[in-house]
Amino acid sequence: MRENYMVDMERGCGLALLLAIAAIAAACASDSNNICQWHGEVPKMQRRIIDISHAYRHDLPVWDSSTPLGSPVHLQHSFANGSLFNLSELKMGCHTGTHVDAPSHFLQEAYEEGLDVNSLDLEILNGLVLLVDTPREENITAHTMEKLNIPFGVERVLFRTLNSDRRLMWRTNFESSFSGFTKDGAQWLVDHTSIKLVGLDYLSVATYEEAAETHRILLRKQGIILLEGLDLDDIEVGIYVLHCLPMRLINAEGSPIRCILTK
Ligand SMILES: *[C@@H]1O[C@H](CO)[C@@H](O)[C@H](O)[C@H]1NC(C)=O
Ligand SMILES: *[C@@H]1O[C@H](CO)[C@@H](O)[C@H](O)[C@H]1NC(C)=O
Ligand SMILES: *[C@@H]1O[C@H](CO)[C@@H](O)[C@H](O)[C@H]1NC(C)=O
Contact indicator for 56, 97 with CB cutoff of 8 Å = yes
Please indicate, yes or no, whether residues 31 and 100 belong to a single structural domain of this protein.
Answer: no
Q: Are 127 and 161 within one domain?
A: yes
**Domain count within the chain:** 2
Does 135 share its domain with 14? no
Pocket of ligand 3 (CB under 6 A): 137-139, 162, 177, 179, 207-209
The predicted-structure confidence for 182-210, as pLDDT tens digits, reads as follows 999 999 999 999 999 999 999 999 999 99
Say if CB 205 and CB 228 are below 8 A apart. Answer: yes
**Is the same domain home to 67 and 189?**
yes
Ligand nearest to the Cα of 77, by number:
1
| In a shared domain, residues 63 and 109 | yes
pLDDT band at 7 (very low <50, low <70, confident <90, very high): very low
Instruction: Please indicate, yes or no, whether residues 81 and 144 belong to a single structural domain of this protein.
Output: yes
pTM summary value: 0.85
Ligand 2 binding site (Cβ under 6 Å of any ligand atom): 75, 78-80, 85-86
Q: Closest ligand to 214 CA?
A: 3
What's the pLDDT tens digit per position in 231-261? 999 999 999 999 999 999 999 999 999 999 9
Looking at the fold, whether 87 and 195 belong to one and the same domain comes out as yes
Q: What is the CATH number of the domain that holds 115?
A: 3.50.30.50
Pairwise CA distance, residues 182 & 21, whole Å: 56
Of residues 238, 184, 229, 224, the one with CA closest to residue 203: 229
CA of 55 to the centre of ligand 2 (A): 22
Range of the domain at 36: 2-46
